[in-house]
Structure formats: structure tokens, C-alpha cells
Structure 1
Amino acid sequence: MVEALHDGLCVRDLACTRGGRRVFDGLSFDVAPGSVVQVRGANGSGKSSLLRLLCGLLPPAAGELQWRRLRVGARGAGLAAEIAYMGHAGGMSGDLTVLENLRFSLQVAGSASADAGCREVLQRLQLAGREDEPLRHLSQGQQRRLSLARVLLSGRALWLLDEPCAGLDAEGEASFDTCLAEHVHRGGMAVVTTHRDIGRDGPCAHTLDMNGLGHAGDRDPDHRP
């Protein structure tokens, strides 16, 4: 494998197999500090599987990863400790309040934050005044904002975000763009699957096209309509 020339993520000849089918193969790209990779492709091209593979939820069928110039091993512990992952499912309890969900998820991730910090981020994401409401009372877009709050408070260097703007209105999309730009300005990195062009008004994004990397007609098992 070619040695990485930066302290970010280096992906080489990555392949993913799900249910006995090859979802994609021969995938190579870099995520250098201060950059965003925007992942695009048709439904079933493997966008969600790629993020799950990068964060260690799936094993690669082939290929290698380097993180901060070191090869990522089978457990990927060094990389996993610096990842903030935002998938399709929120992974939160509808019976807990907004603030309780945020506290619990951050504690589980080892990124516990003071209530003052949590409230500040919730206010920034237009969730002020909803802290003590059960999660089930929130709209889909508001729950998506809460998932983004977890990412912001994680303090992790690499964000892996799967359709982060799904369900957001124009104001929510603008908030996301600002948060992403600030993260990158501080030297952070992100891999984002989205149908929006986040490179036009937000941080400069390198586009990764998943079409043609897999087999036509194969559906990505992790895709949710």
C-alpha cells in the first residue's frame, strides 16, 4: 500500500461484500485534514455501507485503510476513537427527553459534555426550549438536528455523516453547512453522503462517485429509502 502523505484517512482498493454480493470494489480516496469528501451515487451503490465500513461496523472484503499514517488493524481502535458517526437511524429513545438522550449518547461514546455545553449547542441548532420534552414529540427534522448536536459535541476529528440533511428545512440545512465549515476550518475531516451540493456554499468538497464501483442491480443492504 502507498504510504499516506498526510495525517488524515487514506483508503486504498477497498471492497465491500454484503449477503454474498460485491457491493463495491477498487475504491480509493483520501480525506486530508481540513477537507470534506462528498459521496454520491444511485441507491444501492454502497454509500451507507461505505460509511459503516469506515467506522468499523462492517469488515472490508479487500483493501486497506491508513489513519494518521498508520495502517488500521482489524479492530480499528485508533480510528474508531476519533470518529463521529451519524447514520440513518437516530439510536435514541423516544421516552427520554432531548437533554437526557444527548447526555446518554455522549456518555456511551465517552464524550460526556457539561449541560451548559449541551444547551448551547441545542440553542444553536434551534432546539432551545425543547430540552425537557420527550424525543417522540419532535419532528423528523428536529430529531436530525439532535443527532447533529451529538456530532458537534463529540470532539471527534473525522465525521462520517449519512444523509445528514434528510428532513431538514432550509434553516436546518444552513445550520449544518455552517457547522461543517467550522469543523473543517479547525482542521477536521468529514465524509458525507448527500444529494445536496455541499461544496457550492459550504466548505470545498471533493466528490466521490460510487456509480460503477459495484454490480448493477445490487442493492445496498444498509440503504433506507
Structure 2
Amino acid sequence: MEFSVSDLAVARGGLCVLEGVSFTLAPGAALILRGPNGIGKTTLLRTLAGLQPALAGRIGLPPEAMAYAAHADGLKATLTVTENLRFWAAIYGTGGVEAAITRMNLAALRDRMAANLSAGQKRRLGLARLLVSGRPVWMLDEPTVSLDAASVALFAEVVRGHLAAGGSALMATHIDLGLAEAQVLDLTPFRAKGQGQATARGFDEAFA
């Protein structure tokens, strides 16, 4: 599924931070968002994910086509690794729990409650949710936070598998995942002119 964005403007804390953002993401492709801290990478991803309204522009992606992985891992602390993935598979109406456990190297932890996982283990479990989503477009905000080098390599292989199967990925990351398919979109040229002026709509994003 091709994903296109046209002339998008997004706000953080009531201020327009990016405007005129346009790109097309084809099946099998990855796009890396780059730019200095605070430019609006997270804000852009949150807007694309439907968690806040855009100020202007068009997002050509139905919600049911997208899976979003943010800074939070989206885990239920009192459920085990397996139960967490079964919960998400039920939400998405899919299966593939066992495959996700294997691919994210969680087999030895399958019966451990999420509350008792390390930060890196929680991150791997949170990312395993993508594998049971059944969604073709993955939106990832710093997906490798808390991962060690081996887990970063493991996740990169998972992303390559997703792309090879015709999926696509849009991610904000400073880590080189070694994705030969990836293109880079520098958000610096889209920095809003006259930043510091409140938007007319006065939208306040609590989570930048």
C-alpha cells in the first residue's frame, strides 16, 4: 500500500513546528526522519498516527493500515510476555504470537510478567507487537531505545523481513539499522516559518 503525505503542517504545544511536509512511501520501502532535536519528528509521527490533528495538509493512509510504536512500550505489567502478545493479537484480529516470540528472541521469557522484564526486554516485547498487528505500514519513534547491539541487529532483521514482504516503515532514529532500502527525509527545510507564534486553533499537545 502506497502512503502519501501532502503539504502537512503539524503543531506542538499550540505552535506550528513543521509545514509543507510531503513525501511518498512505497510498499517495500523505508523512510528515515532526520533533523535536530526538537524539530518535530515525534510530533509528525503522532499526527500521522492520528493521535493529534494536523493543522493543514493531507494524509493518504487509512488508520487500519498503520501500526505505531512510540516511546512507551504499550505493555500490561501484570500479563506475561505471551499474554501481552495474545492481547494485542486479539485487538488486531490476527495471530502469529509464537512467530513474534521467536523472531524477537523472547522464548525464554514467554511466561514472565512484563513488570519483571528489563528495559531492553520490555522494548523487544513492545516491538514484537508490530509482528502481530497485521498492518502494512509501521511508524516507529526511536524504536531502538534501551536495546543492546544484538537486539538492534535483531530488530533490523525484523524490519528487513517486513519490507521484503511488501510492508513499509517510517521511522525517527539516529541509529543506522543497515537498511539498504531506506531513504532519508531531513525535516530541517520544513521547519515552520515564524516559530513561536501560537496557532489559530490553539491545539495543545501534551506529549511532544
Shorter-chain TM band: 0.7 to 0.9
Separation in structure 1 between the aligned mates of residue 110 and residue 166 of structure 2, nearest angstrom: 30
Output the aligned Cα RMSD. Answer: 1.9
Deviation at 1:19, TM superposition (A): 2.6
Deviation at 1:96, TM superposition (A): 1.4
Separation in structure 2 between the aligned mates of residue 181 and residue 203 of structure 1, nearest angstrom: 9
Q: Is the counterpart of residue 129 in structure 1 residue 108 in structure 2?
A: yes
Relative to 1, partners in 2 of residues 1:62 and 1:152: Cα closer, same or farther, differing over 3 Å? same
Separation in structure 2 between the aligned mates of residue 112 and residue 186 of structure 1, nearest angstrom: 17
Residues 11, 30 of structure 1: 8 Å contact kept: yes
- Matched AA of 2:111: D
- 1:193 matched to which residue of 2? 172
- 2:207 matched to which residue of 1? 222
Q: Is the counterpart of residue 87 in structure 1 residue 73 in structure 2?
A: no
Separation in structure 1 between the aligned mates of residue 93 and residue 147 of structure 2, nearest angstrom: 25
Residues 180, 203 of structure 1: 8 Å contact kept: no
Deviation at 1:123, TM superposition (A): 2.3
Separation in structure 2 between the aligned mates of residue 63 and residue 124 of structure 1, nearest angstrom: 37
Residues 36, 203 of structure 1: 8 Å contact kept: no
Q: Is the counterpart of residue 144 in structure 1 residue 120 in structure 2?
A: no
Which digits, 9 at most, give the CA deviation of each residue in 1:7-64, with x for residues without a partner? 5011111001233211211111110111001011222111111111112111110111
- 1:107 matched to which residue of 2? 90
Residues 157, 189 of structure 1: 8 Å contact kept: yes
Q: Is the counterpart of residue 154 in structure 1 residue 133 in structure 2?
A: yes
Worse overlay, 206-215 or 50-59: 206-215
- 1:177 matched to which residue of 2? 156
- Matched AA of 2:39: S
Structure 2 alignment gaps of length 5 or more = 197-204
Separation in structure 2 between the aligned mates of residue 83 and residue 122 of structure 1, nearest angstrom: 21
Separation in structure 1 between the aligned mates of residue 99 and residue 108 of structure 2, nearest angstrom: 11
Separation in structure 2 between the aligned mates of residue 56 and residue 102 of structure 1, nearest angstrom: 23
Aligned length: 199
Moved over 2 A (4+): 211-218, 220-223
- 2:27 matched to which residue of 1? 33
Deviation at 1:82, TM superposition (A): 1.1
Deviation at 1:141, TM superposition (A): 1.0
Separation in structure 1 between the aligned mates of residue 16 and residue 160 of structure 2, nearest angstrom: 34
Separation in structure 1 between the aligned mates of residue 189 and residue 172 of structure 2, nearest angstrom: 16
Deviation at 1:102, TM superposition (A): 1.3
- Matched AA of 1:192: M
Structure 1 alignment gaps of length 5 or more = 1-6, 68-78
Separation in structure 2 between the aligned mates of residue 55 and residue 111 of structure 1, nearest angstrom: 19
- 2:181 matched to which residue of 1? 204
